[in-house]
Amino acid sequence: MTGATRPSTGIYCLSVDPSVANLVFTSGGAPIRVMVATVEFNQTNVVADAQVWVRGGNTFCGPNRLEVRTFIGATPSNAVSSTVAVI
């Protein structure tokens, strides 16, 4: 990843290096690689139900960006640390 923005609570938009963008996105900018994410409980000061979701499209973040959402229960949260991998 080469950059990240947080346009809203619990929403992260990740950028990849342009040299590998064609391996990660279609020519229209939609993700074509599997992305997985996990909560880092050692780094998250949350007692229960922290979640990380990845989106298989670019609905919120726009073309050529990967979208990750973090929650505590059903509430979007910035208090959840996570690890993200693109396979």
Give residue-wise pLDDT tens across range 19-64. Answer: 999 999 999 888 988 888 888 777 666 656 777 878 766 778 988 9
> pLDDT: is 6 or 47 the higher one?
6
Judge whether 80 and 72 are in contact, CB under 8 Å. Answer: yes
**pLDDT at position 8, please?**
95
How many CA atoms within 13 Å lie on the side-chain side of 47? Answer: 0
**pLDDT at position 47, please?**
58
**pLDDT at position 84, please?**
87
**pLDDT at position 76, please?**
92
* pTM of the shown model: 0.84
57-84 residues labelled b (16+ CB within 10 A) or e (exposed): ebeebeebbbbbbbbbeeeebeebbbeb
